[in-house]
A = this chain, B = another copy of it.
Amino acid sequence: MILSELISIKDAFKIMDKTQKVKDCEIIPLEDSHLRVLGEDIHSYHDSPPFDKSAMDGYALIAKDTFGASTDTPKTLNIIEEIGAGDFSEKEISDNEAIRIATGAPIPKGADAVLMEEFTASNGDKIEIHTQVPPSENIVPQGEDIKKGKKILVKGTILKPSEIGLIASAGYAKIKVYKKPKVKLLITGNELVNPSKTIEKAQIINSNKYLISSMIRSIGGIVDTEHLRDDADLVKIAILKASKEFDIVLTTGGTAISKGDVIVDVIDSITDVLFHGVGVRPGRPIAYAEVENTPIFMLSGYPIAAISQFDIFIRRYIFKMQSLNYDPTIVKRESKVKIPSDLGRTDYVRAFTDDKYIIRASNKGSGIIHSMVQSNSYLIIDDNSEGIEKGDMSNIIFFKSMLLY
């Protein structure tokens, strides 16, 4: 099969969006929610703190009883009780009385301030106070942190430590999150072998298995991988099986025009290929279809092409499966390099970019995993540009802005 007319990235996105799937949600214990995606808005069941509490270890008292107190002119108050964290007192404080109170304990009736222990000298059932405090000193008012009923987090939030702590304070021990997308990664290529010290002539190590699985995990997916020979019947069986058992199927290899390449032909024999060939480099031969209502993305066999295809198309699709937008930040940087490009093709050039400049860019085409590790960004050359010159302000997407977490 020959590549169809190249379509633009934007048109490819339109086709993907028409068929975009979104995962169902599930209820899980909050302690298992680290880096899951929230599937509901969270409203607090409680004020937090649930009562006026002491912010310090010290003495709850009436502020005006301290006015004028100093080291030279101490005042003396009667200690009528002690409250530890978790205790509370039924007693009400009257003039010249104090209750010893622990950080976090509720402020007793009558008290309007807490004096830090450091500024007192205890003497049996009395304390000498050596400084004065204004009303509400060292008191954390009820609901300061969170007001009961308030919406504190929205659906689609990625749950990190602070959010998880906040949800706990709001009164939730279980929450609704999006199920993790289940991804089948089918890798084709007779030439591919597992990593080892020695490989035969014309063999290539199957690095995609490791590279792409890790990319899938890094965006919240669960991945199952399988290596297939370039055999149309085997590929067809594997794709039909995977399309029933998984949320999304990714294949690598078999998208270009060559003897050993079979996947697009196999899909074409099952259903319509919705697009094959996008005006992007690297990654032009990417193809997309649906089998059994399951999205199938056909990626290149070459790691670098596959990575670009993943970054541009697959991240977006899998983010949206979890109700997340995929909208990597584009920033402008001055280029220190000259890079030619063709009209009608968007280039994603791996580059090393700092706060000011695009310092290095590699445009050697496929296969250069190594430069991925040494790059930190894509230099994007739009399809209406014939390239960039040294000194041009150009569009950059930092890899870190494409990440989920």
Interface set of A (CB-CB < 8 Å, partner B): 30-31, 34, 45-46, 48-51, 53, 55, 57, 82-88, 100-106, 117, 140, 144-146, 152-153, 159-173, 189-192, 194-199, 201-215, 217-218, 225, 230, 253, 256-261, 301-303, 307, 364-370, 372-373, 405
Contact = CB atoms under 8 A, between A and B. Distances in A.
A334 to B, nearest CB: 17
Contacts of A197: 45, 171
Nearest to A190: B86
Q: Is the interface of A mostly helix, strand, loop or mixed?
A: loop
Given A152-B370, A164-B211, A166-B207, 14 more contacts: A46-B205, A48-B369, A50-B199, A51-B202, A82-B259, A85-B253, A102-B256, A103-B366, A104-B302, A105-B258, A140-B367, A161-B307, A167-B210, A168-B207
A204 B167 contact: no
A189 B86 contact: yes
Nearest to A399: B162
Contact of A214 (B84, B165, B218, B365): B165
Nearest to A202: B88
How many copies of the polypeptide does the oligomer hold?
Answer: 2
A83 B217 CA distance: 35
A168 B195 contact: yes
Contacts of A50: 199, 201, 203-204
Contacts of A46: 199, 205
Contact of A117 (B87, B101, B257): B257
Nearest to A88: B202
A356 to B, nearest CB: 13
A301 B197 CA distance: 53
Contacts of A257: 57, 117
Contacts of A202: 51, 86-88, 105-106
A168 B261 contact: no
A258 B84 contact: yes
27 contacts: A45-B196, A46-B199, A46-B205, A85-B259, A85-B260, A86-B190, A86-B191, A86-B204, A100-B259, A102-B256, A102-B258, A103-B256, A103-B258, A105-B258, A106-B202, A140-B364, A140-B367, A144-B368, A160-B214, A163-B373, A164-B214, A165-B208, A165-B369, A167-B210, A169-B207, A170-B195, A171-B205
